[in-house]
Chain A
Amino acid sequence: MKACVTCVGNALRGDDAAGLAVLSLLEGTLDDDVVVLGCEGEPVALLDAWADCETAIVVDATRSGAEPGTVRRIPAHEARLPDELTRASTHVLGVGEAVELARALGKLPPRTIVYGIEGSSFDTGAPLTPEVAAAAEVVAAAIRSELEQART
């Protein structure tokens, strides 16, 4: 199995660092054949990371108006991402665009799961809010079991 976990975020923009918080929880805890990447730049780079991947997992912060800390699990290989998750990113072309570009180009891994963690504060220099820090733990655990299931 080739699997890739990509954690997207901006360490300097409060809860936008949600994905990076998950990254630090996962690092060193997954099997060797799982590629774990932090992405502080452009999610378009995901397209390269996904080459030949069977399972791709992406974690990013969301700002959809839900309760802070809300975790959404979206099987992106099944359908288009909801509109509210494909804009308002501080990343140039967001995760949503990267997923949809990959789909349009026939490069979306057969199993692509997007985890969204709802943030509340995206202020420059702000720390992660407690709700998002707690949600990061939940998502890290979910990803571990997700990868185990994919293996069996």
Chain B
Amino acid sequence: MSRTKTIRTDYLARVEGEGGMLVRMRDDVVTEVKLRIYEPPRFFEGFLRGREFREAPDITARICGICPVAYQTSACLAMESLADVELEGQLRSLRRLLYCGEWIESHTLHVFMLHAPDFLGVPSAVELAKLDPQLVETALRLKKVGNEVMRVVGGREVHPINVRVGGWYKAPTRAQLDALVPDLEWALAASREAVRVVAALEFPELEQDYLLAALVDGDEYPIDRGSHVTTSRGSSFPVAEFLDHVVEHHVEHSNALHATLDGDSYLVGPIARYALHRQHLSPVALAAADEVGLEPVVRNPFRSIIVRAVELVYACEEALRLIAAYEQPAEPAVAVAPRAGLGHGASEAPRGILYHRYRLDDLGTILDAKIIPPTSQNQRSIEEDLHAFVSAHARLPEEELRLRCEQAIRNYDPCISCATHFLRLEVERT
């Protein structure tokens, strides 16, 4: 005799945006997992058509309030690639520094305020603040440090206004950046401690054999640019060939697109970057990972919280390194002339590779735009995680199973504002 049971929750809190997840089971065997995205597509690719190429960074920044720098940067890179311009020296260092600010801000928000409550058995950051006020105080201060970097370099902390194709409207002074150093030094120590704290959490069992993909930027840990994409299969291709490998699919149950890499589901973001570029981490970040015994390739997605914390250490240390070497450039930007053709750009948003491609005419008018955010690249992996997790834990009490599924989704920090929006969970047992 088959049993029928349905569990519903209101939309999941602590994920950007809104949407839903459906898990169907028949006699404890998972038959179907679907991510359903409710919010209508935002049509940004359509908004961009007919606009001047220099407008792309400011328009696309509005796609997401958490990772505007990623959007601005990928848009700038695409436009600059068309004109054969590559930012160098301090102009480029500032771009990386701004991006470090975003990583600090975004990773802090996710690690402490969104994901940690799952592990500690509390429903929200507010409850966490009652349980462990010191932890939340630390998180708020860390987040503020990231915001401050973004304010000083980008002009303001949300949707920075100082970014332009070819560089900046105004370069910060050495003194302005030096003023950030004490807070960043505190943040470096605090984030190192954060690695210890999250590594001591209890992790649900789940091992997945992911195909991992991350950008390659010489011998640097990839953040603000990348020439190639590299994968855990050892394959590699130039960013300009991204769409020859990554294909987006419409799926019936969602109005966000699902992407595959050479036909397979894959994973981008902290776990992928760390596995493919561990050797490029800074000394303190690497020591922090080693100290807690973080495996070189993380296959348990719940342990992504530790990787995020290690990347938080890295972003603080890298920001300090960039500031120490900073000299205010004579000009805040280089000229970027419009040129007809296709421009490609990709950077590592906190959640993973963010790819932009634009087709321009010879006046610099955008004829066509394509944006592939990290969350749409990860959606199949999220579904596969849930399929595996629910299959292995189908006998858990309903409420615990539901909470663990939500936690499994939050492993991806799914900023669904980037891939339209997220999230509500239903488990149907038949």
Contact = CB atoms under 8 A, between A and B. Distances in A.
5 contacts: A12-B62, A44-B143, A93-B109, A97-B124, A104-B127
A110 interface: no
Contacts of A104: 126-127, 129-130, 133, 136
Contacts of A101: 125-126, 129, 136, 140
A91 B16 CA distance: 9
Interface in A14-55: 40-42, 44-45, 47-48
Interface string A94-135: 000100110011100000000000000000000000000000
Contacts of B13: 87
Given A92-B65, A105-B136, A105-B137, A42 B158 contact: yes
B144 A48 contact: yes
B349 to A, nearest CB: 16
Contact of A41 (B126, B137, B158): B158
A40 B125 contact: no
Interface of A: 12, 40-42, 44-45, 47-48, 87, 90-93, 97, 100-101, 104-106
B238 to A, nearest CB: 35
Given A45-B147, A92-B65, A100-B126, 13 more contacts: A12-B62, A40-B158, A41-B65, A42-B157, A42-B158, A44-B140, A93-B125, A100-B129, A101-B125, A101-B136, A104-B129, A104-B133, A105-B133
A90 B18 CA distance: 11
A97 B127 CA distance: 10
- Which of B13, B62, B129, B157 has the most C-beta atoms of chain A within 10 angstroms of its own C-beta? B129
Given A12-B62, A44-B143, A92-B109, A97 B125 contact: yes
A97 B126 contact: yes
B113 interface: yes
Nearest to A99: B126
Nearest to A86: B126
B351 to A, nearest CB: 14
Nearest to B13: A87
Contacts of A106: 133
Contacts of A91: 65
B113 A93 contact: yes
B256 to A, nearest CB: 18
Contacts of B129: 100-101, 104-105
A106 B126 CA distance: 12
Contacts of A97: 124-126
Contacts of B130: 104
Contacts of B62: 12
A92 B125 contact: no
B223 interface: no
A92 B16 contact: yes
A92 B66 contact: yes
Contacts of A47: 140
